[in-house]
Structure 1
Amino acid sequence: MNKKVIIASSIILALAIGIKIFLSNAQETVSPMPEEIKNVDAFFSVPLEEEKFTSLVKMDEVNINETVQKAVSETLKETKSIHLQTLYHEINKEDLLKKMPHKKLVAPVLGIKITENSIAKLSVGDVIKLPALGQVQYEAEITKVLTHKNGSTSATGNLIGDQNEKHSIILTEGKSTSYASISTPEGAFEIETIDGVGYVYSVKDIEDQYIDRSKEDILHPPHKD
């Protein structure tokens, strides 16, 4: 009986030693898994790494949204903002004539009211609506604004949609008076106001009354005998 136990123990021991040697050789022959593959397996197998992946996706979404918002913001900044202003308001000419005299010998076209300090508040790029002159109401874009030493303000501009440089406007505003020269395809006009009210005149009507067209504009030197 003792011999059988000894023999069985010897066999088991031999098998154990053989299995150990076999496993050792197998570990040496199997090449280690590349680091990149290990990382990929860990990336998809470990719950903590899955959370990091979700965070990464969320960060990408945030970055995309921020990029879109920034692009929209920059586009809005580059887009020119048009500020349409109505400086002049037509008022009843007949009522005004009872209170305020018009230019001598020249009948006004319109009675007009101007918003106080409106010319002084203009900026380059502003668009103003002009009084209805003739059959058309024009708009003009301000191209230059100057403040003078005496406190008055002048602004110049061009008619929108008109390529003729001669069709322009000049606006001037002082403490209590304002003046405007407006050249349009309908003709040239002047606006004069005192204390915010006044008249629109046709330049042609003014010239017809104050310019003697029968006389030459050129002065000739006297002839020597």
Structure 2
Amino acid sequence: MDSDISTFSGHEPVKTTQTPASRRREKVRQTILEAAERVFAEEGYEGLSIRRLAEEIDYSPSAIYKYFASKTELVGCLKEAFFIRLVRNIENAIEGQGPGNWESVRDCTRAYVTTALEKPHHYLAGFAPADDCETGLDTNTDPKTLDDDSPSAVAFRFLCEGLEEGKQSGNFRQDLNVRTAALSIVMAMHGAVMTLIQIPKILTRDDGTMMDLDEMIEMYSDQLLRGFKA
């Protein structure tokens, strides 16, 4: 099973020399995380536990605790996996786009929806309840502050920067509050994604054919962004 769990810092990775022991440890860690993905996808947040993971991969609970101190830490890694994929997909979507134009911001919203629907369990993990870890997109980031390199903060900053550049280039209203606008986009996209995940038949027409998802996302994004235009 391909895993999206990896280290993310917002910068070029630092090359390190791994010993055979460290490689074995990383392999076991990835095995546990991939099992957590499967269990979360099938049984949800409530079904995920250290004991359930031990059953899934035939490890003892104590062996898993050597790698993860708690269920919260495991879910935190699944959260990070979604936002790592989101950042990469946004980067690919806006590559070559002009700064702050309508299309680049719309492509950010499209990347959000398509990334979520690629692996819905990753998305649900990203917004799963957990008492002692952050949930969902880090929207506390100041768009002008570039020192927070967590994947969720980077994803939100992409959107804020696109809107700010749009203001500077005259594509968006000069009185636009960038953070408020970005939050409104996130809230709208989250609602759309949750609807599509929980009611997958919503795109089914009366004759049984399916609506085009890309066309629906583009129309929804255009309606959302129209209020920001200069």
TM value normalised by structure 1: 0.27
Which structure carries more helix by proportion? 2
Which structure carries more strand by proportion? 1
Question: Rg larger in 1 or in 2?
Answer: 1
Q: Which has the higher contact order (CA 8 A, sep 6+)?
A: 2
TM value normalised by structure 2: 0.27
